[in-house]
Amino acid sequence: MQYREPVTDLIRRRRSWRSYSDEAVSADQMGQISSFIESLDPPPFGTRLRFSLVEAHLPEKKHMPGTYGVVKGARNILVGALKPSPMDFEDFGYSFEAIILFCTQLGLGTCWMGGTFNRSLFGRKIDLGPDEVIPAVSPVGKPLAARSVLDSLFALSAGSKDRKAFSERFFINSLLSPLNEEQAGRYREALEMVRLAPSATNRQPWRVVLKDGSHHFFLARTTGYSRIFSGVDLQRVDMGIAMFHFEAAARQLNLPGKWQKLDESHGIFCPRGVEYRASWVV
């Protein structure tokens, strides 16, 4: 799995698009996306995933069916499914974001959607098995220069352009001491890519602690969020996206390391509502 451009440029360029031109993705681009999907390495924790780029029928009013009027104009949608396993939602976020960034490289617009889509409709489109779950989908198409009113409202209400400061998401030795950009050293850019990651309603629930040369990823849950979509843990999907951004930037910078789930008592105190998820260990 490789990009032609520096992945950090793709991460900086990607934004959520909800209004598209009526054109379908070309056969050539469809082929490139399918080959990219086939070339994906297994995700860090080995979850069984599958992805399909399916066609959507565009009715006269041009709202994509199954997206509750949120997506306008697109004729293709990327649907992903997982088979449950201990790190399934992180693995899903990690691999789906790899595909989203490939679409970004092709000049196509995308939008992660974990809430505003009809799970049973898209389940039928990909023959979802009884033991499979669809955590999210994304329209894929040519973005319209002018966003629809609904698109602008969504982006505005989620505060999509805003990202928390480095010192509010990244820490050193404990979750109580903020990390500054100088202390981040060679990993500054990899952490910056975490900061720019998309997340459901832009909650940015990740916290990263640098300790003994390793980066430990924690999830600070938004209260009540996991109960909204039963069976789908969107904030763990957010975590997987952040992990992909971190690793892709680290690899671009030739920084070695791999993902591991360590003993939860790794010496970092976890306040209530914060969970340890995984570490990038050198």
Ligand X SMILES: Cc1cc2nc3c(=O)[nH]c(=O)nc-3n(C[C@H](O)[C@H](O)[C@H](O)COP(=O)(O)O)c2cc1C
Question: Does residue 237 bind ligand X (CB under 6 A)?
Answer: yes
Question: Does residue 15 bind ligand X (CB under 6 A)?
Answer: yes
The CB-of-222 to ligand X minimum distance in angstroms stands at: 12
Cα end-to-end distance, the chain, whole Å: 22
Helical (H) or strand (E) element with 49: strand 49-55
- CA 40 to chain CA centroid, Å, is 15
Q: Residues 66, 73, 80, 114: which binds ligand X (CB under 6 A)?
A: 114
Integer-rounded Cα Rg, in Å, for the chain is 18
Question: Does residue 112 bind ligand X (CB under 6 A)?
Answer: yes
Q: Residues 32, 116, 214, 252: which binds ligand X (CB under 6 A)?
A: 116
Question: Does residue 158 bind ligand X (CB under 6 A)?
Answer: yes
Binding residues for ligand X restricted to 179-218, rule: CB under 6 A = 198-202
- Residue 161 to residue 155: CA distance in whole angstroms: 8
Answer yes or no: are the C-beta atoms of 100 and 15 closer than 8 Å: no
Q: Which is nearer to ligand X, 102 or 210 (CB)?
A: 102
Answer yes or no: are the C-beta atoms of 216 and 279 closer than 8 Å: yes
Question: Does residue 136 bind ligand X (CB under 6 A)?
Answer: yes
Q: Who contacts 121 (Cβ-Cβ below 8 Å, separation ≥6)?
A: 65, 66
Q: Which is nearer to ligand X, 193 or 210 (CB)?
A: 193
Answer yes or no: are the C-beta atoms of 239 and 206 closer than 8 Å: yes
Q: Residues 160, 214, 226, 252: which binds ligand X (CB under 6 A)?
A: 160
Question: Does residue 152 bind ligand X (CB under 6 A)?
Answer: no
Q: Which residues of the chain form contacts with ligand X (CB under 6 A)? A: 15-16, 18, 70, 111-116, 136, 154, 158, 160, 198-202, 234, 237-238, 241
